[in-house]
Amino acid sequence: MSIWNRALLLLALGTLPVMGQETVLDPASSVKIDLPENSPLALISTNMGDSRASNRGGTIVLDLHMALTLRNSGARRVRGVTLLITAQEFAPGGKGSVARPCIDVPSGEQFTVPVDIRLVRPVQQAGGPLVRVQLDGVLFDDLSFFGPNRLNSQRAMTFWETEAQRDRAYFKHVLQARGDKGLGEEMLQSIARQAERPQLNVALSRNGRATGSIVPQGVAAGEHVAQFAFLKLPTAPVQPVEGWAEIAGNEARSPQIEIVNQSGKPVRYVEIGWMVKDKEGHEYLAGSVPGSNSAMLLPAGQHSRLLPDTTLKFSRTGKPVEIQGMTGFVSQVEFADGKVWVPSREDLKSSALLRIMAPSPEEQRLADIYSKRGLAALVAELNRY
């Protein structure tokens, strides 16, 4: 480390000696919180908690345990917020985000966003605060949005809120049809499903080998090309047509999927859920693959190809999971007008996806309320909406 970099480090971290020491972060100089001038959220306080910075070789490790208290200073109820947390933007580990979906904050009320994240930043990066916190987006109860949306948080929060409305309506229906006891049973089943959900380890890499042909060319030795099976959800506005991937043991490379827009309006985003089957016939959710970039616009009735530039590697409890089959299903669709589609509860039940997919954040939130505060609290929460 040069004398200049050492001086910069000392400047950034106060009287911190060079190697392996920690210092408590001073909110005034270490963290910059940027809210736009016309932001509907106002910053009330920043609690730095045990946030610290430490020097490890040529990097500064920022251990953030902050809590930001914000107030809804707009007129509409806030249903979600996403913050972008940045230490640096040109290497892995320098950027993260924290989202708080499934909230309901009336005008004038305060709420807290905890930021528990660790970021890294090179010592050589000179000047400015160590961490910058920016508002990426706010979602309101009418699904309108405010914010720069660099992280596509509008889409993510709209999906979460749509799922939340779906699941709240479902549990309210259960309460009306089957009473408190039925709701309690349904909740316990949800909790048991979450506990039993099979988990898989997935390694993801970019490989740049997508060729543009729907049928892969030039398969390497030891690989074979497998055709995708598709789970077609009847209400999905976009349907998969066919797909292929190169499979080698526990690896799936260069998946290529053709989809068709069966709705009457243009689509700008599609997400495909991946399931894999192992030798024993067990099925797992491998991950979620966004099937488009920001420039996608698929007109009604048209076909398109999704060519995610990826390799997926699967393992479980440290052992590779050899792929015997892959199944895809459309899990999210965003239309050009900003409206979204998510599978209905009936879609999830009838296709057995309820057992494999993670529950929505709202379902997990409601289950948490039921677990910790009981049925009465859950009913009160459902009746708030």
Partner 1 sequence: MQTATLQDAMTEKYPAPGSSLSADVQERFVTENLRRIFLQIYRIVGNVHDAQDLTQEAFIKALQRQEQLKDEQKATHWLSRIATNTALDFLRRHGRVAFCEITEAPESHSETPEASVLRSEQRDWLNAGLERLTPRERAALVLRDVEDLPAEEVARRLDCSKATVRSHIANARIKLRKFAERRKR
Partner 2 sequence: MKTHPSEADLALFAGGEAGRLSRFFVNRHVRECRECMDQVNQFELLRLELREFEPPPHDWNRLAAEMRANIHVGLEAGECVRLAAAEQRGWSPKLAVALASLLLLVGASFLLKSPAPNVAVEQKAGAVLESTGSGLELRHGNSSLTLLNHDGVAADQTVSAQGEIRARYVDGGAVTINNVYLE
Of 136, 161, 162, 140, give the one whose Cα is nearest residue 150. Answer: 136
Q: Is residue 40 involved in binding partner 2 (CB under 8 A)? A: no
Q: Is residue 324 involved in binding partner 1 (CB under 8 A)? A: no
Minimum distance, C-beta of residue 178 to partner 1, in the bound complex (Å): 26
Beta-sheet pairing, 22-24 with 52-56:
antiparallel
Q: Is residue 54 involved in binding partner 1 (CB under 8 A)? A: no
Dist CA 190 CA 363 (whole Å): 8
H or E, element range at 334: strand 325-335
Residue whose entry in the numeric block shows the structure tokens 């509907």: 40
Taking contact as CB under 8 A, which single stretch among the options 56-64, 137-145, 233-241, 297-305 is the one that binds partner 2?
56-64
**DSSP, res 358:** P
Q: Which of 74, 101, 216, 328 binds partner 2 (CB under 8 A)?
A: 101
Of 35, 32, 11, 14, give the one whose Cα is nearest residue 23. Answer: 14
Taking contact as CB under 8 A, which single stretch among the options 107-115, 205-213, 225-233, 322-330 is the one that binds partner 1?
107-115
Taking contact as CB under 8 A, which single stretch among the options 111-119, 120-128, 169-177, 246-254 is the one that binds partner 1?
111-119
From residue 371, give the alpha-carbon distance in Å to each of 120, 137, 338, 383.
Answer: 36, 31, 35, 18
Q: Is residue 370 involved in binding partner 2 (CB under 8 A)? A: yes
67 makes contact, choosing from partner 1, partner 2, none, with CB < 5 to 8 Å by partner type, with: partner 1
Complete DSSP assignment for 153-202: HHHHHHHHHHHHHHHHHHHHHHHHHHHHHHHHHHHHHHHHHHHH----EE
Of 161, 138, 9, 132, give the one whose Cα is nearest residue 75. Answer: 138
Outline where the chain has alpha helix (H).
3-13, 27-30, 153-196, 345-350, 353-356, 361-373, 375-383
6 makes contact, choosing from partner 2, partner 1, none, with CB < 5 to 8 Å by partner type, with: none
Q: Is residue 185 involved in binding partner 2 (CB under 8 A)? A: yes
119 makes contact, choosing from partner 2, partner 1, none, with CB < 5 to 8 Å by partner type, with: partner 2
* Residues 80-99: x where in contact with partner 2 by CB under 8 A, - otherwise, as a string: ------------xx-xxxxx
Q: For partner 1, which is the closer residue by CB, 49 or 122?
A: 49
Dist CA 372 CA 385 (whole Å): 20
Q: For partner 1, which is the closer residue by CB, 49 or 325?
A: 49
Q: Is residue 122 involved in binding partner 2 (CB under 8 A)? A: no
49 makes contact, choosing from partner 1, partner 2, none, with CB < 5 to 8 Å by partner type, with: partner 1
Dist CA 143 CA 163 (whole Å): 13
Q: Is residue 65 involved in binding partner 1 (CB under 8 A)? A: yes
What residues pair up with 31 in beta bridges, in sequence order? 131
Q: Which of 5, 23, 47, 152 binds partner 1 (CB under 8 A)?
A: 47
Dist CA 311 CA 245 (whole Å): 10
Number of residues that bind partner 1 (CB under 8 A): 12
> Contact residues for partner 1 (CB under 8 A)?
45, 47, 49, 65, 67, 69, 110-112, 114, 372-373
Report the interface residues with partner 2, using CB under 8 A: 56, 61, 63, 65, 92-93, 95-103, 113-114, 116-120, 151, 181, 184-185, 187-188, 191-192, 194-206, 287-290, 308-310, 313, 315, 317, 358, 361-362, 364-365, 367-375, 381
